[in-house]
Structure 1
Amino acid sequence: MTTSLMEQSAARMAAWLQRRVRHAQDNFYLEGPYAPVEAEHTETELTVSGTIPEALDGLFAQIGPNPLQVPNPATHHWFVGDGMVHGVRLQAGKACWYRNRWVGTDTVNDHLGRARVPGPRRGIFDVVNTNVFPHAGSLWATVEAGPLPAELDAELNTVRRGLFHSDESLPFTAHPHRDPQSGELHAVCYDALQRHRLIYQCIDANGVLRRRVNIPVRHGPMVHDCAITARYVVIFDLPVTFSFRALLAGAALPYRWNPRHRARVGLLSREGDSDRVQWFPVAPCYVFHACNAFDNADGSVTVDVVTHARMFDRSQQGPEAQQVAFERWRLGGSLTAVQRQVVSSEAQEFPRCDERRTGQSYRYAYAVGGQAMSTEGTRLLRHDLQRGTTTVHDFGPGQMMGEAIFVPAHPDAAEDEGWLLAYVQDPQQQRSRLVILDAQAVDRQAQAIVHLPVRVPIGFHSNWIPLPA
């Protein structure tokens, strides 16, 4: 490298560090383990400790905010940063590559001097940063509140926008749930500009919209997730709603805790209309994520969720920890209100299960244990819902994990027969690693670790994407 190029590189790094320092003074979600990375990377020489299972043939991907620009760090909200996808390709017992790519929205491509991708546009903002998952032969990145999904190729480049393989233009969600029996995606969606309705959508296995139902609501609730059973779609209508006051005050995410909004949970028959929704009151709280739900023999429904006593009533920059717990709810049948039972009072988020059991009774749930807005470190929790016990994997002091995903050892494997995969960040070393644990021995040493020469910021959702050889 010439002296001139070295000086330019040093100047760019110094400017980046100055921005990091300025951001850190104003916003927790722009510093430390949350701080954005400044460039896209492709790394093909990866060091591995242990043995990667040969059955793991696919891509482990995570998405989250990685803002290119932050005009005002003091009012920047973690949820609105430009999306970036990180992925490690595993094949034949090897780690073939690591890549990170910004999701190619118009804003991102214009900023980076790239051509805009084809496809329709909708929504009042241009960010896709919350989930990445396979469906109908393609890989998709999604967000809630209006914008259409972005289709990615197998190397994480954005190729087009659209409502999967449908010609419709509707708001989608960050959290569809795939029925393992039919291959359909079920989603409860909303548009920030259409505050008086939710839209239930069923996307068939070919990626085409099969069914939609408009569901009347008040105040414009933020509906981040839903759940499904064999009979129902579970709808969370909870007291975080659109706030004109916050919007006029310049909030990047104009949603606030609203004690005037009645908290309720709905059961929509999978083939029913909006007038058939059964609503059940629940004590005020907020739910970002449901782990799973299933029908009971008495006609009631069980749904497992992580609850927050309140949300967005103090912080304008991201979630704040207020009495978080993993709970089991029952509603429907002869019940007139939601019954709540605490499964684990430890602070946690991102609950997941073996998704072959989605909509069915199940035994094991996995979650990220630890407080929001903390850099003390997080740990993996494995809840045995049959025995009522929790097993822990501790990654070490200050280590920050992302969402953990269960991958079965083979199609007919038992519910816990397989592996748990998660990105784990060491903020002090500015490096991350992909950790692979035996799901039946999560408290033991990792089966394999893929060491990454870069840092994967704390983000949102991860998924395992099987790929053809």
Structure 2
Amino acid sequence: MRIRDGRAEWYRNRWVRSSSISDQLGEPGHGRAITGPDFGPNVHVIGHAGRTFALVEDLLRPYELGYELDTVGPCDLGRTEDGFSVNAHAKHDPHTGELHAVAFYSGLDYVKHIVVDPDGSTIQATDIPVPGRPYMHDFALTERFVVVYDLPVTFGAAAPASGRWIPYVWNPEHPPRIGVLPRSGGPIRWFEVSPCFVGHTLNAYDDGASIVIDVIRFGPGFEPADIGGNRPMVDRWTIDLDTGKVDERRIDDRPQDFPRVNESLVSRPHRYGYTAASSLYAAHEPRATFTNALIKHDFATGRSEAHQFAHDAAAGEAVFVPSAGATAEDDGYLMSFVHSPERGAADLVILSAQDVSGDPLARIHLPGRVPLGFHGSWLTD
């Protein structure tokens, strides 16, 4: 959705064209050679170095997109000699302009911390030994450290044969721990945590001799192929680098996911965060589908406020967009695609981030339903 001068100018919905899909559709190829699996990325879209990229994970390549989301082709964003690239949850440090990623491959016993400079060149790649092939979907970034989650969801080669659509399973024999790697280099330190799985990181920051991380935590027994069977909640982990202990504290026990923060504060202290809640209705009306509410968390006061949509609505991840000239952390907007059951189509709903529970500032009516996906970005033109 392109917005300028208070108007919605156009809406585009495009598949990322892998070579095989272009061939099957009889379309011209993108002309970029690719070795290994050719897979159209399906997890995230970001901007970096003045370009737009669609991201995926494992050992699959990012794809570059054009201005109107046309497929340019596979690219070398974060490419390393052993075949890694920037993965789905790469994080932009707004203070250095660098792009950081922790990339994994299900067939290897190590993961890779990759740093891309503001011009798009890979400037650092550090191996992190990790036995057991855990599923590392996300990580955390602070001013001084990279934090990785080595948790009991691991690769299971037999999973697809048993009918599972994701080749990862809960593995109670895999010790749960988190690793802290200095961004400046040095050995990684490991810290024990209780059995769980972290789906997404809201944000993280240094606090003296501690690291504070706000995460979406799934409890023991989490199965990636059955997300509806486990309740993701908001937890705050505080790693004490002196004592080697991790304090795990529940912030909100309502089921929610897709956390976002004002991205000017990625890797720095934050007060507010935003999530999509799977249900804020009565307990006797459980919903295991996507979401019908957006929540704003105030981590300073412990309070939250929510915008609740219609019972049968479905809201995607909300992206925070700062106001022009904003000085306050929450001076801006929350933007989310929301399926409107009354219209049978989607609206782009724009809320004031300082009044999340209030009426929307705008609803942009789209002609059809937008399939709910995972992640996205607001990119200034």
TM bin, normalised by shorter chain, reads over 0.9
For the residues of structure 1 that align with 2:31 and 2:77, how far apart are their CA atoms? 13
Partner secondary structure for residue 346 of structure 1:
coil
Alignment of 1:309-328 (within 5 A): 309-310=219-220, 313=223, 316=225, 318-328=226-236
Residues 174-217 of structure 1, C-alpha deviations (whole Å, 9 max, x = no match)? 101110111101111011232x0101100111111010011111
* 2:95 corresponds to 1:181: yes
Structure 1 residues 258 and 171, CA gap change in structure 2 (3 angstroms): farther
Contact 2:144–2:183 (Cα < 8 Å) also in 1: yes
Matches within 5 A, 1:243-262: 243-249=156-162, 251-262=164-175
Q: CA deviation at 1:465?
A: 1.1
Where does residue 267 of structure 1 map in the other structure? 180
- Supply the distance in 2 between the matched residues of 1:373 and 1:241 (Cα, whole angstroms): 27
**1:308 paired residue among 218, 222, 227:** 218
Q: Does 1:287 find its partner at 2:175?
A: no
Check 1:320–1:124 CA distance in 2 against 1; reply closer, same or farther (3 A cut): farther
Instruction: List structure 1 segments (4+ residues) > 6 angstroms apart after TM superposition.
Output: none
Where is the helix percentage greater, Structure 1 or Structure 2?
Answer: 1
Aligned residues: 374
Over alpha carbons, which structure has the higher Rg? 1
Q: CA offsets, 1:29-81, max 9 Å, x none?
A: xxxxxxxxxxxxxxxxxxxxxxxxxxxxxxxxxxxxxxxxxxxxxxxxxxxxx
Q: Secondary structure at the match of 1:227?
A: strand
Which residue of the other structure, out of 193, 216, 240, is the alignment partner of 2:107? 193
Q: Secondary structure at the match of 1:356?
A: helix
Choose the corresponding residue for 1:360, options 265, 268, 287.
268
Change (3 A) 1:178 1:411: farther
Instruction: Pick from 211, 218, 221 the counterpart of residue 134 of structure 2.
Output: 221
Q: Does 1:97 align with 2:10?
A: yes
- 1:338 match: secondary structure: strand
Between 115-124 and 262-271, report the one with greater CA deviation: 115-124
Q: Distance in 2 between matches of 1:393 and 1:193?
A: 42
* Backbone CA RMSD of aligned residues: 2.0
The amino acid of 2:198's aligned partner reads: V
Give the secondary structure class of the aligned counterpart of 1:108.
helix
Supply the distance in 2 between the matched residues of 1:328 and 1:259 (Cα, whole angstroms). Answer: 23
Alpha-carbon distance between aligned partners in 2 of 1:388 and 1:431, rounded to the nearest angstrom? 35
Q: Is residue 148 from structure 1 mapped to residue 28 from structure 2 by the alignment? A: no
> CA 1:311/1:113 → structure 2, altered by over 3 Å: closer, same or farther?
farther
Aligned to 2:84: 170
What is the DSSP-based 3-state SS (H/G/I as helix, E as strand, rest coil) of the residue aligned with 1:262? coil
TM-score, scaled to structure 2: 0.93
* Residue ranges of structure 1 left out of the alignment (5+ in a row): 1-87
Give deviations 1:365-401, integer Å, cap 9, x for gaps: 0000116962485200000111110100011111110
SS of 1:350's equivalent in the other structure is strand
Residues 420, 439 of structure 1: 8 Å contact kept: yes
Amino acid of the residue matched to residue 233 of structure 2?
A: A
Note if contact 1:294-1:301 (Cα within 8 Å) is conserved in structure 2.
yes
8 Å CA contact 1:268, 1:277 repeated in 2: yes
Judged with a 3 Å threshold, the aligned counterparts in structure 2 of structure 1 residues 148 and 353 are, in CA distance, closer, same or farther, namely: same
Q: Give the 3-state SS of the residue equivalent to 2:14 in structure 1.
A: strand
State the match for 1:401 in structure 2.
315
**Residue 114 (structure 1) shift:** 1.6
Task: Trace 1:3-402 onto structure 2 (pairs within 5 A).
Answer: 88-124=1-37, 126-164=39-77, 169-194=83-108, 196-249=109-162, 251-273=164-186, 276-297=187-208, 299-310=209-220, 313=223, 316=225, 318-370=226-278, 374-375=288-289, 377-402=291-316
The structure-2 alpha-carbon separation of the partners of 1:373 and 1:136, relative to structure 1 and needing over 3 Å to count, comes to farther
C-alpha separation in 2, matches of 1:367 and 1:383: 8
Distance 1:120 1:206, change over 3 A: farther
Name the aligned partner's letter for residue 146 of structure 2: V
**Range moving further from structure 2, 329-338 or 218-227:** 329-338
Q: Specify every segment of 5 or more residues in structure 2 that has no aligned partner in the other structure, as ranges.
A: 280-285
Which one of 329, 344, 359 corresponds to residue 415 of structure 1?
329
Whether the 8 Å contact between 1:122 and 1:147 is mirrored in structure 2 is: no
The superposition leaves residues 132-191 of structure 1 with CA deviations (integer Å, 9 ceiling, x where unpaired) of 010011000000001111000110001021122868642431101110111101111011
Q: Percent identity?
A: 36
